[in-house]
């Protein structure tokens, strides 16, 4: 079976100081990390390969630095990695990214199971999983908290989805794309030997032309960013118990938290 | 050709999901800012007629309905097929989809099928420089992002639940109901929903949006039941100060603070907690902090968003009752 | 000279940091409190290759640079002094001399399980009457046919309670003084070889520090490491390597204390503002940050020279004496910044303070380090 994992290198959200941002997004010097959902992506692929046999291929789209996340995947033990990189993709939206990833998957001969993270921190769109599935015209099972069954002979997957208000158990045929939530598994640490070997592996690069993509059309773009409105200064609500309850409820509902 | 704003309606357990009504409020704002002839909705259900009066009463001008037994459980490929066909027919300017789990699958999937732009998890819309800009959180909510569409092709937006209010109802209001001849069948997808399990599990402190925490001001361990009541009403988790954990009132895994857990919920309720620095270390970055304490000098009031000087034991049960009433509305 | 980490080193840092945060941080306070040796944690570290970072792959090691090793030690020490010294002893004091002085057979038999984390090692040099004066050891080794018979005792031996393999330094010829010392590989379970009194210490409480007792311990002559009389040379080489590990440990401990103090200073409000806004505290934090950086750079430079095959005795001594004294200064200031809370076990800084002290003493006291540096510069 071929398992394809889609991962992304992101700017570390913990290192972004909101108060210094806006109207442009200033990312110079912000350290980059593997999207936190993606170590679960890599681990899920590795565990199923260990159970059912086959190969694990990891693909990422990103700039030069994105190689690092591919090396981390190699250090964890995946079989093959691919790096989609082209200046033409700079500033593109999720639709372009998803198309590139879908074309790369087709280029390498397809997959039985494609695994992506629920979302990538930063953009927080959660678009890539659904859009890659749409381009490949395959079923999508999102927010998977556990893959209960996977069968190459039956070409079937049974998975548990985590939704607001509960869970769903769904089945689908392969090939299929799943997006996974955190704690679906316990990701292994790359072994040090794996790390050393991974640092030396030549990583194949796919350009826009390699993927057979024409001129890039972008459909939506950022206008500006800003820090969220400052946390309001605290206030003491006064009055009888009934009055303070009423004031508190009004305040909380106006903050749209419920 | 009429300019329409199309909203997608989600049905769950034979009810219109609240978020599908909230998106009408965004649609109305978009109409005000950008002009439109109608706000319509796409209703895919086993029995669409059940919902028409309610949808009209909340303000939808038109309903485009499709009936199929296959709509019983949401599956992306089936709903997408129907929606894409509907979109090709009526060609709206905007498509608004509730940003629920399933909605956030459908919106980008349809966007990819139609090769058009999608902006996710929108909380507001503004007009500037002649264009509409949609506001959304990014970087895990640490930043706000304004995005715009770059062409006049269909603009798809998924809308964050609870970001917009449910519109007022006008009973008896009517509109245009059209049942469409779009066919979907089970063979359109291999996905089958085998089982649906409603929420029963305990929410962990780390994942909870609402934490209801108690300290020595709660008086005795029996009174912690009041905290559990409020947690149940809000779908939150119960936390505790170190003092009450050490006293054996509640187990250590509820402890918030320097030697307990660090949490960052939407609302942290501190009932009868003084606010020692060790406790604050565990919860001070919560979005909203509500503190109730008899002592007006309690340090917790220095960090709380809303502070109430009162006996937690008097305040809490009444608050729970009132908020339950409010949540049902 | 490139101050930035290369890709391999960055990956090492990320992996070690991730492991330390997820596996070491949650247990560190408990380990210190109970003094329980972290058997499970050490096993996990072994499986990942952290117990043989710099050891060649053919002997079960990860074959990464010594710079990578120092990075890994720092990340582990940031959360736990005990765990970092357990790792350092196995890597630098046991595996490293086996690589340098061991025969093929010895490497295959002893080094491979140690480097791959299947067995744990300890370094038995110090005795009740031989600390800094290592040449004065009194443990004896007498040749008897194709065996040696060892008698004596060692104290303050890290990992002693749980080690499978010990490097024991004994005198094969008292008349030659330090030139009569030899190094022997002794395995747990050998009749006469036992763990004696367990030390209760100020800090690094979970490091398994104990006495080793040798009573007519018979070992095969093939367990002699190097040649008879080479023991002192082996010990000195080993300590040169080990000092870089201890320097990295000290940097990690200092960094842990500093990061906690920084966090506390931003949260603690007195006189109407966070204490981080007062110049006195700012200057303390600035000094702490600067000294930690300097200590790290000295350590990295020593590791770099070792990797390059250059002499590194002076640089390793410099890094150890400087980093350990920085750790003492930084952890002391960290408690001060915490005020009364720093004195309480509720906050981790008092543990960093207690753990820091030993770095000025073991693997060569600061006084010995200064002698080493002086003898190098006055040559």
Residue A75 contacts C where some CB pair is shorter than 8 Å: yes
Please give the pLDDT value at position C1: 58
**Interface B:C, Cβ pairs < 8 A:** 12
Task: Phi first, then psi: give them for residue C364, nearest 5 degrees.
Answer: 105, 115
B141 contacts in chain A (CB < 8 Å): 228
Could you give the CA distance from residue A22 to residue A174 in angstroms, rounded to a whole number?
44
Could you give the CA distance from residue C373 to residue C367 in angstroms, rounded to a whole number?
10
| Residue among C8, C48, C62 minimizing CB distance to A189 | C48
Predicted-complex ipTM score: 0.95
Q: Which chains touch C (3 or more CB pairs under 8 A)?
A: A, B
Chain C interface, Cβ < 8 Å to A: 7-8, 10-12, 14-15, 18-19, 47-50, 53, 57, 62-64, 68
pTM here?
0.91
Shortest CA distance from B84: residue in chain A:
A134
The residues facing A48 across adjacent strands are none
- Return the SS3 of B287: coil
Active site residue C363: yes
Could you give the CA distance from residue C341 to residue B191 in angstroms, rounded to a whole number?
57
Name the catalytic one among C33, C346, C363, C367: C363
| Complete DSSP assignment for B46-85 | SSGGGGHHHHHHTT-SEEEEEE-GGGSS--HHHHHHHHHH
List, for residues B6-57, the tens digit of each pLDDT value. 999 999 999 999 999 999 999 999 999 999 999 999 999 999 999 999 999 9
The residues facing C183 across adjacent strands are C169, C225
Q: Which chains touch A (3 or more CB pairs under 8 A)?
A: B, C
| Contact yes or no for C12/C73 (Cβ under 8 A) | no
Ranges in chain A, pLDDT < 50: none
List, for residues B259-311, the tens digit of each pLDDT value. 899 999 999 999 999 999 999 999 998 999 999 999 999 999 999 999 999 99
Question: Can you give the three-state secondary structure of chain A, one letter per residue?
Answer: CEEEEEECEEECHHHCCHHHCCCCCCCCCCCEEECCCHHHHHHHHHHHHHHHCCEEEEEEECCHHHHHHHHHHHHHCCCEEEEECCHHHCCCCHHHHHHHHHHHHHHCCCCCEEEEECCCCCCCCCCHHHHHHHHHCCCEEEEEEEEEEEECCCCEEEEEEEECCEEEEEEEECCEEEEECCCCCCCCCCCHHHHHHHCCCCCCEECCCCCCCCCCCCCEEEEEEECCCCCCCCEEECCCHHHHHHHHHHHHHHCCCC
Per-residue tens of pLDDT for chain C, all 379 residues = 567 899 889 899 999 999 999 999 999 999 999 999 999 999 999 999 999 999 999 999 999 999 999 999 999 999 999 999 999 999 999 999 999 999 999 999 999 999 999 999 999 999 999 999 999 999 999 999 999 999 999 999 999 999 999 999 999 999 999 999 999 999 999 999 999 999 999 999 999 999 999 999 999 999 999 999 999 999 999 999 999 999 999 999 999 999 999 999 999 999 999 999 999 999 999 999 999 999 999 999 999 999 999 999 999 999 999 999 999 999 999 999 999 999 999 999 999 999 999 999 999 999 999 999 999 999 9
Structure tokens at B87: 């979109």
User: Distance from B283 to chain C by nearest Cα, in Å?
Assistant: 12
Peptide bond just before A23 cis, omega within 30 deg: yes
Q: How far is CA A185 from CA A39, A174, B229, in A?
A: 9, 21, 33
Contact C50 A195 (CB under 8 A): no
Residue A210 contacts C where some CB pair is shorter than 8 Å: no
Pairing of strands A55-61, A80-84: parallel
Task: Phi first, then psi: give them for residue C82, nearest 5 degrees.
Answer: -60, -50
Could you give the CA distance from residue C104 to residue C108 in angstroms, rounded to a whole number?
6
Please give the pLDDT value at position B199: 74
Nearest alpha-carbon partner for C320 in C372, C285, C277, C278: C372
User: Distance from A81 to chain B by nearest Cα, in Å?
Assistant: 25
Tell me C341's DSSP state. G
User: Distance from A35 to chain C by nearest Cα, in Å?
Assistant: 13
What would you measure as the largest C-alpha separation in chain B, in angstroms?
A: 71
User: pLDDT-derived band of residue B329, with 50, 70 and 90 as boundaries?
Assistant: low
Tell me B166's DSSP state. P
| Contact yes or no for B94/B100 (Cβ under 8 A) | no
Could you give the CA distance from residue A130 to residue B77 in angstroms, rounded to a whole number?
10
A contact residues 170-199, partner C, Cβ 8 Å cutoff: 189-193, 195-196, 198-199
Torsion of CA B114, B119, B123, B125, to 10 degrees: -90
Contact A193 C14 (CB under 8 A): no
Q: How far is CA B213 from CA B239, B263, B266, B269, B296, in A?
A: 4, 11, 13, 6, 18
| Residue among A121, A139, A218 minimizing CB distance to B189 | A139
**Interface A:B, Cβ pairs < 8 A:** 230
Contacts with B32 (C-beta within 8 Å, 6 or more apart), sequence order: none
A196 contacts in chain C (CB < 8 Å): 8, 62-64
Q: Which helix (DSSP H) or strand (DSSP E) does residue B210 occupy? A: strand B210-214
User: pLDDT-derived band of residue B1, with 50, 70 and 90 as boundaries?
Assistant: low
Pairing of strands B288-293, B306-309: parallel
Beta strands in C60-179 (DSSP E): 121-124, 140-144, 147-157, 165-171
Contacts with A242 (C-beta within 8 Å, 6 or more apart), sequence order: B318
Could you give the CA distance from residue B43 to residue B8 in angstroms, rounded to a whole number?
7
| Contact yes or no for A79/A6 (Cβ under 8 A) | no
The residues facing C168 across adjacent strands are C124, C184
Contacts with B47 (C-beta within 8 Å, 6 or more apart), sequence order: B67
Contacts with C292 (C-beta within 8 Å, 6 or more apart), sequence order: C251, C254, C255, C258, C326, C330
Tell me C120's DSSP state. -
Contacts with C32 (C-beta within 8 Å, 6 or more apart), sequence order: C80, C82, C203, C205, C206, C351, C355
Q: How far is CA A64 from CA A58, A213, C209, in A?
A: 16, 20, 47
Candidates A192, A198, A200, A234, partner chain C, best to mutate (most C CBs within 10 A): A192
Instruction: Supply the Cα-derived Rg of chain C in whole angstroms.
Output: 21
Contacts with B227 (C-beta within 8 Å, 6 or more apart), sequence order: B212, B213, B214, B218, B238, B271, B316
Please give the pLDDT value at position B51: 97
Contact B150 A172 (CB under 8 A): no
Please give the pLDDT value at position B2: 78
Please give the pLDDT value at position A254: 86
The position carrying tokens 């989805």 is A161
State the distance between the two ends of chain B, measured CA to CA, in whole angstroms.
Answer: 38
Residue B278 contacts C where some CB pair is shorter than 8 Å: yes
Q: Is the pLDDT of residue B83 over 70?
A: yes
List, for residues B191-225, the tens digit of each pLDDT value. 999 999 987 667 889 889 999 999 999 999 999 99
The position carrying tokens 């392969």 is A174
Percent over 70 (pLDDT), chain B: 99
B281 contacts in chain C (CB < 8 Å): 267
């Amino acid at each position: 079976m071929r398992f394809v994992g889609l991962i992304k290198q992101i700017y570390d959200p913990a290192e972004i100081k909101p108060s210094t941002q806006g109207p442009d997004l200033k990312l110079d010097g912000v350290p980059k990390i593997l999207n936190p959902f993606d170590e679960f992506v890599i681990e899920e692929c590795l565990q199923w390969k260990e159970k059912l046999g086959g190969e694990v291929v990891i693909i990422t789209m990103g700039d030069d630095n994105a190689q690092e996340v591919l090396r981390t995947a190699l250090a964890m033990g995946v079989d093959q990695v691919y790096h989609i990189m082209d200046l033409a993709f700079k500033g593109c939206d999720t639709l372009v990214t998803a198309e590139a990833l879908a074309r790369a998957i087709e280029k390498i001969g397809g997959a039985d199971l494609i695994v992506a993270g629920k979302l990538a921190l930063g953009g927080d769109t959660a678009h890539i999983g659904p859009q890659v599935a749409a381009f490949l015209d395959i079923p999508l099972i999102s927010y998977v908290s556990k893959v209960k069954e996977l069968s190459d002979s039956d070409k079937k997957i049974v998975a548990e989805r985590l939704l607001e208000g509960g869970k769903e158990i769904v089945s689908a045929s392969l090939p299929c794309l799943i997006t996974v939530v955190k704690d679906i598994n316990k990701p292994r640490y790359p072994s040090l030997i794996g790390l050393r070997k991974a640092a030396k592996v030549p990583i194949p690069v796919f350009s826009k032309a390699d993927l057979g993509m024409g001129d890039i059309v972008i459909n939506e773009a950022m206008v500006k960013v800003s820090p969220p409105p400052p946390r309001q200064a605290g206030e003491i609500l006064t009055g009888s118990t009934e009055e303070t309850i009423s004031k508190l409820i009004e305040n909380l509902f106006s903050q749209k938290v419920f | 050709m009429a300019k329409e704003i199309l909203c997608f309606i989600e049905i769950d357990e034979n009810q219109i999901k609240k978020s599908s009504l909230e998106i009408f409020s965004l649609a109305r704002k978009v109409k005000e800012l950008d002009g439109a002839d109608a706000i319509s909705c796409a209703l895919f259900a086993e029995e669409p007629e059940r919902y028409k009066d309610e949808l009209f009463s909340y303000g939808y001008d038109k309903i485009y309905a499709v009936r199929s037994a296959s709509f019983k459980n949401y599956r992306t490929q089936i709903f997408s097929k129907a929606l894409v066909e509907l979109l090709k027919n009526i060609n709206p300017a905007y498509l608004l989809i509730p940003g629920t789990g399933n909605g956030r699958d459908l919106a980008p999937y349809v966007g990819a099928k139609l090769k058009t732009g999608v902006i996710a998890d929108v909380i507001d819309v503004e007009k500037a420089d002649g264009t509409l800009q949609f506001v959304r959180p990014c970087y895990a909510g640490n930043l706000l992002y304004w995005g715009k569409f770059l062409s006049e092709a269909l603009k798809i937006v998924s809308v964050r639940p609870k970001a917009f209010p449910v519109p007022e109802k006008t009973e008896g209001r009517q509109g245009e109901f059209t049942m469409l001849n779009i066919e979907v069948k089970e063979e359109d997808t291999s996905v089958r929903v085998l089982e649906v399990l409603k929420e029963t599990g305990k929410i962990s402190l780390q994942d909870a949006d609402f934490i209801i925490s108690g300290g020595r001001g709660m008086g005795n361990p029996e009174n912690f039941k009041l905290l559990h009541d409020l947690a149940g009403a809000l779908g939150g988790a119960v936390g505790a100060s170190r003092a009450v954990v050490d006293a054996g009132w509640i187990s250590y895994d509820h402890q918030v603070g320097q030697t307990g857990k660090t949490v960052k919920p939407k609302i942290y309720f501190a009932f009868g907690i003084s606010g020692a620095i060790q406790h604050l270390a565990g919860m001070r970055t919560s979005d909203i902090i509500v503190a109730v304490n008899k002592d007006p000098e309690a340090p917790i009031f220095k960090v709380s968003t809303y502070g109430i000087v009162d006996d937690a034991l008097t305040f809490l049960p009444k608050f729970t009752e009132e908020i339950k009433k409010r949540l049902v509305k | 000279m490139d101050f930035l980490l290369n890709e391999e080193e960055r990956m090492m840092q990320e992996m070690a940091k991730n492991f330390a945060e997820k596996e070491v941080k949650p247990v560190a306070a408990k380990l210190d409190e109970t003094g329980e040796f972290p058997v499970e944690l050490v096993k996990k570290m072994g499986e990942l290759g952290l117990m043989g970072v710099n050891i060649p792959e053919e002997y079960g090691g990860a074959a990464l640079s010594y710079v990578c090793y120092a990075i890994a030690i720092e990340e582990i020490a940031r959360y736990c002094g005990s765990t970092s010294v357990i790792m350092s002893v196995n890597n630098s004091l046991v595996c490293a001399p086996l690589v340098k002085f061991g025969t093929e057979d010895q490497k295959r038999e002893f080094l491979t399980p140690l480097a791959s984390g299947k067995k744990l090692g300890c370094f038995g040099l110090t005795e009740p009457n031989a600390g800094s004066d290592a040449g004065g050891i009194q443990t004896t080794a007498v040749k008897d046919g194709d065996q040696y018979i060892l008698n004596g005792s060692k104290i303050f031996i890290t990992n002693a309670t749980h080690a499978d393999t010990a490097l024991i330094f004994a005198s094969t010829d008292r008349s030659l003084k330090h030139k009569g010392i030899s190094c022997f590989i002794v395995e747990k379970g050998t009749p006469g070889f036992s763990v004696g009194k367990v030390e209760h210490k100020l800090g690094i409480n979970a490091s398994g520090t104990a006495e080793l007792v040798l009573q007519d311990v018979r070992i095969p002559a093939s367990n002699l490491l190097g040649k008879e009389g080479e023991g002192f040379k082996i010990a000195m080489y080993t300590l040169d390597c080990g000092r870089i590990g201890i320097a990295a440990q000290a940097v990690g401990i200092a960094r842990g204390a500093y990061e906690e103090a920084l966090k506390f200073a931003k949260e603690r409000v007195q006189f109407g503002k966070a204490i981080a806004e007062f110049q006195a505290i700012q200057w303390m934090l600035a000094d702490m940050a600067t000294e930690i950086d300097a200590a790290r750079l000295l350590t990295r430079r020593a590791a770099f020279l070792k990797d390059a095959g250059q002499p590194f005795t002076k640089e390793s001594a410099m890094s150890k004496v400087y980093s350990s004294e920085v750790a003492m200064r930084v952890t002391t200031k960290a408690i001060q910044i915490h005020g009364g809370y720093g004195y309480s076990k509720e906050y981790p800084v008092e543990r960093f303070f207690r753990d820091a002290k030993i770095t000025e003493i073991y693997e060569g006291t600061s006084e010995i380090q200064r002698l080493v540096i002086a003898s190098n510069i006055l040559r």
